[in-house]
């Protein structure tokens, strides 16, 4: 490698570093990688959630509703997750901190291995990234089970957007819900703030690098 080529490579690497650093500007970690400080588990089942090697782990037959204690209104949430065959969880947004009915009293974005044979008959609005019972997400962008996925969830005003592995799979306005039956069943669609959290369904899943930016 010539000195000129080496200099170009170093400049490109430095530019990439600056771009990545700017991309994460104003994001705050809400999981310290060592404990569940700042989180509250409600409705624990089995072993609940564990912390292992910098990850929040929902073990087989574990779960419950794990909420971050702070409430948020408008925000961008980034995290990574790893599914196993048949994994099923959910992301609560603008949610009350309670044991049940969170997809209705709050809002729930699906986190699920909808490629699993056991879920072949689920509804479109039950697939990964969907706003449960309200808006279906685009499919086909989950990585194979056992690999880490990157997800970004933006909630601003009435707009909810989900980006999975660089692909926008949901981008909806909550005011677009016109079905009176859905509106009646989902008072949580009107909420302007609340908690974020993981809603376990007794299936294994892992989370890491959880950070948030308030808007």
Domain-wise residue ranges, the chain? 28-214
Res 27 pLDDT > 80: yes
Considering the four listed CATH numbers 2.60.120.560, 2.60.120.10, 1.10.645.10, 2.120.10.30, the one that applies to the domain covering 28-214 is 2.60.120.560
Q: Where are the beta strands (DSSP E) in the chain?
A: 28-29, 39-45, 50-52, 55-58, 63-68, 75-83, 88-95, 107-112, 148-156, 159-164, 167-173, 195-199, 205-214
Which residues does 40 contact at the CB level (< 8 Å), separation at least 6? 66, 67, 69, 97
Model confidence over 46-61: pLDDT tens digits?
Answer: 999 999 999 999 999 8
Q: For residue 94, is pLDDT > 70?
A: yes
Rounded CA-CA distance 60/146 in Å is 15
Closest-CA residue to 152 (of 188, 186, 109)? 109
Average pLDDT over residues 107-117: 98
Per-residue pLDDT, averaged over 90-111, amounts to 98
pLDDT band for position 23 (cuts 50, 70, 90):
confident
Above 60 in pLDDT, residue 97?
Answer: yes
Tens of pLDDT, residue by residue over 143-194, are 999 999 999 999 999 999 999 999 999 999 999 999 999 999 999 999 999 9
pLDDT score of 16:
46
Residues 6+ apart with CB under 8 A from 27: 76, 78, 211, 212, 213
CA dihedral 132, 135, 136, 137 (to 10 degrees): -100
Q: What is the mean pLDDT of the chain?
A: 93
Q: What is the dihedral of CA 72, 78, 84, 87, to 10 degrees?
A: 20
Q: What is the pLDDT at residue 9?
A: 46
User: How high is the pLDDT of residue 20?
Assistant: 46
């Amino acid at each position: 490698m010539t000195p000129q080529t080496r200099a170009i490579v170093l400049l490109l690497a430095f530019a990439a570093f600056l771009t990545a650093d700017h991309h994460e500007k104003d994001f705050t970690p809400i999981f310290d990688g060592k404990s569940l400080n700042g989180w509250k588990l409600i409705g624990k089942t089995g072993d609940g959630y564990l912390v292992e090697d910098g990850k929040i782990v929902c073990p087989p037959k574990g779960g419950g509703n794990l909420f971050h204690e702070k409430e948020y209104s408008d925000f961008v949430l980034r995290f990574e997750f790893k599914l196993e065959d048949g994994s099923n969880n959910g992301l609560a947004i603008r949610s009350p901190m309670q044991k049940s009915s969170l997809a209705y009293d709050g809002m729930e974005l699906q986190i699920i291995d909808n490629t699993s044979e056991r879920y072949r008959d689920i509804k479109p609005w039950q697939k990964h990234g969907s706003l449960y019972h309200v808006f279906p997400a685009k499919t086909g962008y989950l990585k194979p089970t056992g690999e880490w996925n990157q997800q970004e969830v933006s909630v601003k005003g009435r707009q909810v957007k989900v980006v999975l592995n660089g692909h926008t799979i949901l981008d909806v306005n909550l005011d677009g819900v016109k079905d009176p039956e859905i509106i009646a069943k989902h008072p949580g669609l009107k909420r302007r703030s609340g908690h974020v959290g993981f809603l376990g369904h007794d299936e294994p899943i892992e989370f890491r690098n959880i950070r948030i930016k308030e808007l």
